[in-house]
Amino acid sequence: MRLTTKGRFAVTAMIDLALRQHTGPVTLAGISERQKISLSYLEQLFGKLRRRQLVSSVRGPGGGYCLAQPLEAISVSTIIHAVDESLDATNCGGKGNCAEDLRPCMTHELWTSLNEKMFEYLNSVSLAELVAQQREKTGVAAVLHDERPLRRVVRRSVEELVAA
């Protein structure tokens, strides 16, 4: 199997982003700290995810990344493909020239079938499902609400301040 850290980290980072984007753009530094993934590596991955229009970036103070598509529309296979990760169990990269005589090896069809099954499965799993699983594990509600009491700000005019 050739699912490397690139694909695993991309999926992990997208789950982290999806869990936290309801409060605004999520910084890569925050994802890096929570998931123990190098910031420079995340920058490379998110550049690719942005080019594939899976995430959008917000510049400036309070900036970061947000999902560019609904959770339900993003599959695991889409994320993995976006970061140039191939899912290939064959020895020949799917070309069929695995044997010494450049013909398919005896197990080529087996590994090709496995590739198809892996793609079908990863394509059937949405980011929404992974986020729901994480929320279920951690006991975090689907939408976090600020439970702090509202503070009422009373603005006084200059005359009121001088009189006081």
- Which of 37-41, 69-73, 138-142 bottoms out in mean pLDDT, i.e. has the lowest? 138-142
Q: Over the stretch 69-108, which tens digit does the pLDDT of each residue have?
A: 999 999 999 999 999 777 777 766 666 666 666 777 788 8
Domain region containing 24 = 5-86+126-163
Report pLDDT for 149. Answer: 52
pLDDT at 152 over 90: no
pLDDT at 43 over 90: yes
Residues 103 and 158 occupy one common structural domain: no
Number of domains, the chain: 2
Residues 101 and 58 occupy one common structural domain: no
SS3 64: strand
Residues 82 and 140 occupy one common structural domain: yes
DSSP-assigned beta bridge partners for residue 65: 26, 57
Residues 74 and 14 occupy one common structural domain: yes
Residues 29 and 63 occupy one common structural domain: yes
Residues 17 and 72 occupy one common structural domain: yes
Q: Cα separation of 155 and 161, whole Å?
A: 10
Is the distance from CB of 115 to CB of 89 less than 8 angstroms?
A: yes
Q: For residue 24, which of 69, 74, 66, 55 has the smallest C-alpha distance? A: 66
Residues 78 and 25 occupy one common structural domain: yes
Report pLDDT for 1. Answer: 47
Residues 37 and 108 occupy one common structural domain: no
Residues 67 and 141 occupy one common structural domain: yes
Report pLDDT for 99. Answer: 60
Residues 16 and 50 occupy one common structural domain: yes
